[in-house]
Amino acid sequence: MMPTFRDMKRFIPLLFCLLPLSGFSQNGIAYDAKLADSLGADDYGMKRYLLVLLKTGTVTINDKKITDSLFAGHMRNIEALAKAGKLVVAGPLQKNDKAYRGIFILDVPTVEEARKLLANDAAVHAGLLDAEYYGWYGSAALPLYLPYHEKVQRKSF
């Protein structure tokens, strides 16, 4: 019997897990020690980051000018963190039942340092957004995509 689309959808996450393995050659891994060292990679090409889940905060401000100003400050902080090399990934989440609004992946070793970086975020500081912090282990090469973002970004926030 031919598998249905519904059956095949179950295998899509597995495919994404296996895709990174396709970069390995038959004779080994194309290891670049200098690059790995510059990125802080361990023997697996990975490193520790801090994942920040941003949620709807406990404060509600009904003045649109104030909320617009606070979210403009939020965007300025994102840009500053990226320029400082501390922010690796940022982006909003689709509406969901858990009130999650967005994520950051920060290139910092501790929750305390991540908290300090977000203390400068106007929307977090005002309570419009609350942050949850988690250690995350991912590819040390993750920050390498950032220079390309400017090449595909037509508008800034």
Kindly tell me if the per-residue pLDDT of 74 is higher than 80: yes
Q: Is residue 21 part of a domain?
A: no
pTM above 0.85, yes or no: no
CATH code for position 87: 3.30.70.1060
Q: What is the pLDDT of residue 151?
A: 87
Q: Is residue 48 part of a domain?
A: yes
Q: Is residue 14 part of a domain?
A: no
Residues 123 and 56: beta-carbon distance below 8 Å: no
**Two tokens, residue 157:** 């926030």
Count of structural domains within the chain:
1
Q: Is residue 36 part of a domain?
A: no
**DSSP of 57-96:** -S-----HHHHHHHHHHHHHHHHHHHHTT-EEEEEE----
Residues 141 and 39: beta-carbon distance below 8 Å: yes
Rounded distance between C-alpha atoms, residue 115 and residue 124, angstroms: 10
Q: Which of 101, 93, 98 is nearest to 127 (CA)?
A: 101
Kindly tell me if the per-residue pLDDT of 20 is higher than 70: no
**Domain carrying residue 117:** 44-135
Planar angle of CA 129, 121, 149, nearest 5 degrees = 100
Q: Is residue 128 part of a domain?
A: yes
Mean pLDDT of the chain: 86
**Two tokens, residue 64:** 């649109």
Q: What is the pLDDT of residue 28?
A: 65
Please give the residue that has the higher pLDDT: either 27 or 154.
154
One-letter amino acid at 95 equals K
**Two tokens, residue 67:** 């909320």
